[in-house]
Every structure is written in structure tokens, then in C-alpha cells.
Amino acid sequence: SFIAALYIDKGLEYAETFCEICLFPKLFDDSKGLKFLDAKSRLQHSLVYTCKKKGQEIEPPHYRVLSVEGPLHNRKCTVAVYFRSQRLAVGIGLNIQSAGMAAAENALKNESVLIPKSLQK
């Protein structure tokens, strides 16, 4: 949205310059890669990479809430991430979102998921 606002306010030349200086180097620099993405995004990129390497149809991962326990001020949520009906990992967090992120982070440690060089920590 910032780039769109810059384009509307200053024009295409300013927006292109901003992207060339600030955005594109982070996206295409192999030393940094896509590590600035959250765990769920890195997992999805890794699964796309895995599918392409194996010549398979690309599918997104699916997240399922396994349990939500405890009072509102001290929840314990458990979420599992699945790919093609196979459970990759489980994560636990104080809310469903953080449990999903933990599940994705744990799935990235799974040896069956190929992680491109640009996503490795």
C-alpha cells in the first residue's frame, strides 16, 4: 500500500526508484533470501519448491486446530499443519495464530520438505 501511495503522490519514477533501492535488493539477494517472511510463508514457498522439484502439482498446506484448552487469559492452543493429508508437524501457542506459526516452524525442520537456499536460516 505504501508503494501505491508513493505512485499516486509522486508518480511512477519515484515508485520505481524506491523499489529498486529498497525492495528489490532484499527480494533477490541470495545472502538474505526470503528469511524476512514469517514461518507460514516460508513453509508455503518451501512446499511449492518441493512440488516443482518433484514435478508434482502445487498445493498449499492446510492448518487444523487440534485443541484449545484453558481459561481465556491462559489459553493453550494446538495446531497441526498438513500437506496432501499428511501431518507435517504440530505447534503449540497461546493463541491459534501463534500455534499455527509454531507448527509451520516445526514443519520446516521436517526432512521431507525441501527448503530452497534463499529460505534457509
Q: Digits of tens for pLDDT over the chain (121 positions)?
A: 888 998 999 998 988 888 878 876 665 544 445 556 788 988 888 888 778 888 888 888 999 999 999 998 999 999 999 988 889 999 999 999 999 999 999 998 876 665 555 444 4
Residue 88 φ/ψ, nearest 5 degrees: -90, -40
60 vs 62: CA distance, rounded Å:
7
**CA–CA distance, 75 with 90 (Å, rounded to integer):** 16
For the full predicted model, state whether its pTM sits above 0.85: no
